[in-house]
Every structure is written in C-alpha cells, then in structure tokens.
Amino acid sequence: MPAPAAVQVVVCTYNRAQHLDATLAALSRQQAAPMPWSVLVVDNASTDDTAAVVEAWRGRVPGLRRVLEPEPGVTAARRRGARETEADWIAFVDDDNLLEPDWIAGAAAAIAAQPEAGGFGGRIVLDFEVPQPAFLKGFGFCFAEQDHGAVLCEVDNLAGAGMLLRRAALEACGWTRESLLADRTGGQLISGGDVEISQRVRGAGYALWYAPGCVLRHQIPASRMSRLYLLRMAEGLGVSESLVNALGWPGPYATWRAQAKDNAWRCGVWAAGELRRALMRRYGVTGALAWLWFAGGMRRGVRAVESMPGDRRAAFFGAAARRA
C-alpha cells in the first residue's frame, strides 16, 4: 500500500515577527489529519525577531524549520521553499494567514476527492484590524478574498494565500525552474506571481479546484485600509491583469497587443464615466478612482510587455497557454 501523500506548509515572511507568531500559533492548533505534514518558514532576510519566533515554536509545530532566502520577494521565497522539500503537495501560506484548526484535514479530504488535481484553494475570509471603511466594500479581491460557495468545484484561478499545489504539476509547468513574473517585493504591490503559478499549472493540463473545507483568515492591518493603499493596489492588479493575460494568450503577439490596448482603453472609459457619476452623487468616488487606477495599471502592463527584449518576450508570451 503506497504511503499517504505528504504536505509541506511553506510560510514566507519578511520582518513581520508578530504576525508570524500568530500564524505559527494557528498551525500548532491543527487537528489530526490522515496525512503527514510539516512546516517550513522561509525567512526573506528579516532583520527583526523572526528567528527567535520560529525557535520558540519548535517542537509545537510539526517538523518546523527555517531557511534563509536572501533574494527579496515572495516569488523567490516560494521557489526556495519548493526546492527545500520533496513533499507531494506544497501549501504556500503568508505570514498574515491564520489557518482554521481543520485546514490540513480539509486539504487531505480535497486531495482524496480529486487525486489528479494540480492545485486547490480554500475560502479566504478577510479579518480587518479595524472596522472596514465603506469605500473598501466591493474590493475584497484586492486583498485575496476567495469564496466560491460550500461545494468542492473546479475553478479557473486560485488566490495565492493558502494555495495548495501538486509538486509534480509545479515541475511539469516549469515554474520550479524559472518564474516569469515578479511578485510583491518591499512596497511594490504588483502580485502577478500568485496568478502565474495557478495559470501555468492549469496550462500544463492540471485542474484547479476550490476546497471550501480549507478556511483561512487573512489579517488586514489598518495601514492597508487607506484610500491611497487601495489605489496603489488597484494599479498593481491592473498591471498584473495585462501581464497574466499575455502569459496565457494562445494566439500571436500582435493580436494580443491590439486586444490588450483596447481592453485597457475600454476599462478607462468606463471608469471615467463611473467617476463622473460618483462626483455628481457625491458617493463612490474612491471606488471609481480605484477602477481608473486599475485601467492605468493595465496600460502599464501592456507597455511592460512591449518593452521586453525579444528573447524574454518569446519565453514569456503564451507560456501559460493551455496545452493540447
């Protein structure tokens, strides 16, 4: 009888020792699950008490260990985590994610139900530090909110927080050898690396599934609840929208370029109309501005692809398109 599939939980962190402490505390409360699992903290060159926090939880969190990754950014940290383990499944968890006590058990159930899947994502509940301001309503996607209902179902994409991926799928799509999109680094809010992973896995022929039994709470501090942060996040997501679209485009570059420019223009026209209406009714101005910033980000993303050197564009363009 083959050994049960194992899960390596990879927690990427940078100078957020207090948040990491809460994340590890949640992992220490996991219920018994029918599969072996362990935790790896990838320390992205932190200068705070991260090492001490990990040491304090050693012995209370299964297989807990820490490795250093000097290259900044979430993508570099995740790829280091993938290289450090031979587990069948890898769960990427951020240092502000609190997993519910039955998260691992829910992951085991999802894998048992869809053993050929390439990846799973669970329900992501936003946990705001202070009451959510009205202008953030409708923008949960900017904070990786994810909820597709109460039933296991196939989906087109997965949020990065708590993304559970088959190692074989990561290797087959080439992500473990080379990532093509930069992700969050320092104050940069472009987060296309999350989408790149799931789309390249999907493009390699693996299905993605939503697993409602895997619930995590994404902590949102007050510092990320300002109007300026929303605008910056919306712009970054707009950039990512164009880049990821190019990554999965199945046709010629010229066709994508024309379509992407048209999409950005249409989004900008619509957002400008929404802004005019919001100014007239004196309500919803921030939301309309966020969509206008998103459209601007889309244009930036198009220009980023246009400015790529020929060899890089050839490697990048269509890399996540579905294979026959």
**Mean residue pLDDT across the chain:** 92
Integer-rounded Cα Rg, in Å, for the chain is 20
Short-list 46, 58, 60, CA closest to 13: 46
Q: Does pLDDT of 115 surpass 90?
A: yes
Mean pLDDT, range 217-226, rounded to an integer? 95
Q: For position 126, what pLDDT does the model report?
A: 97
pLDDT on residue 69: 95
pLDDT confidence tier of residue 256, bands split at 50, 70 and 90? very high
The yes-or-no verdict on residue 216 having pLDDT over 90 is yes
Query: Which pLDDT tens digit goes with each residue over 175-193?
Result: 998 888 866 555 555 567 8
Domain positions in the chain are 7-225, 234-316
Burial degree of 300 (CB within 10 A; 0-12, 13-18, 19+): middle
Measured between its terminal Cα atoms, the distance across the chain in Å is 33
pTM of the shown model: 0.91
Q: Residue 70's pLDDT is what?
A: 94
Average pLDDT over residues 276-281: 96
- φ, ψ of residue 293 to 5 degrees: the values are -65, -35
pLDDT band at 324 (very low <50, low <70, confident <90, very high): very low
Percentage of the chain exceeding pLDDT 70: 95
Contacts of 278 (CB under 8 A, 6+ apart): 284, 285, 287, 288
pLDDT digit string, tens, across residues 133-156: 999 999 999 999 999 999 999 999
Tokens representing residue 256 in the block? 């994508």
| Domain 7-225: which CATH number of 1.10.510.10, 3.90.550.10, 3.30.70.120, 1.20.140.10 | 3.90.550.10
- Tell me what the mean pLDDT of segment 110-114 comes to: 96
Least confident of 56-70, 139-153, 182-196, 298-312: 182-196
